[in-house]
């Protein structure tokens, strides 16, 4: 039996990046039928049950997934790279400062081109330094960058907030990044 962490990684892979790897179809908002997920995951060698899915969604420390109220559909709340998904959020005014956790090895690239979404649809920003630090640790020696989100918003950059509190924007130009923590 796979651990909750293993199931969470599997769900992230399938619901965020490669639904076609098991033949799963997502709608444009990222929703998939739980019954389809269970059937297709089982055929791919990852047995799931409704109770296991509910537990992984409930217990995920980053609240990466959401179930509909009737528990018939599931989605990843952000972080998609699949073209099946084109989620829409209401634009929201960000706080003056947001944070981005990354690894020190990416700093030169970020200085040159700012923060770009890469294969994802948006750049992910945190509302606090602690969360950003935990994100940065996943990528190597961590560094937390201070983002002048309020100034960006005043200049017309759009911000959105996912259901789990993660802030999203299309890109962050280097001019809005405080690199002092990286020096």
Could you state, in chain order, the average pLDDT of each consecutive group of 10 residues for the chain (183 residues)? 88 93 92 96 95 93 88 88 77 96 93 89 90 85 94 96 88 95 71
Domains of the chain (ranges, CATH numbers)? 4-76 (1.10.10.970), 98-178 (3.20.170.30)
Residue 77 is predicted with a pLDDT of: 85
Q: What is the DSSP string of the chain?
A: ---HHHHHHHHHIIIII-GGGTT----TT--EEHHHHHHHHHHTT----HHHHHHHHHH-TT--EEE-TTSSEEEESS----TT--------PPPS-EEEEEEGGGHHHHHHH-EE-TTSSSEEEBSSHHHHHHHHHTTSSEEEEEE-HHHHHHTT---EE-TTS-EEESEE-GGGEE-GGG-
> Which pTM does this prediction carry?
0.67
Residue 135 is predicted with a pLDDT of: 83
Residue 1 is predicted with a pLDDT of: 67
């Amino acid at each position: 039996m796979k651990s909750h962490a293993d199931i969470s990684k599997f769900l992230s892979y399938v619901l965020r990046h490669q639904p076609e790897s098991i033949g799963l179809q997502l709608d444009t908002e990222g929703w998939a039928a739980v019954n389809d997920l269970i059937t297709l995951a089982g055929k791919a060698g990852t047995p799931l049950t409704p109770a296991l899915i509910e537990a992984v969604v409930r217990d995920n420390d980053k609240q990466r997934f959401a179930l509909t109220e009737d528990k018939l559909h599931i989605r990843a709340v952000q972080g998609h790279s699949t073209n099946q998904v084109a989620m829409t959020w209401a634009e929201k005014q960000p706080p003056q400062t947001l944070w981005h956790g990354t690894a020190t090895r990416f700093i030169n690239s970020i200085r040159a081109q700012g923060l770009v979404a890469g294969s994802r649809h948006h750049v992910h920003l945190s509302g606090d330094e602690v969360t950003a630090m935990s994100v940065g640790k996943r990528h190597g020696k961590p560094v937390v960058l201070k983002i002048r989100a309020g100034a960006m918003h005043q200049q017309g950059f759009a911000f959105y907030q996912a259901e789990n509190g993660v802030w999203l924007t299309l890109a962050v130009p280097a001019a809005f990044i405080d690199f002092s923590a990286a020096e």
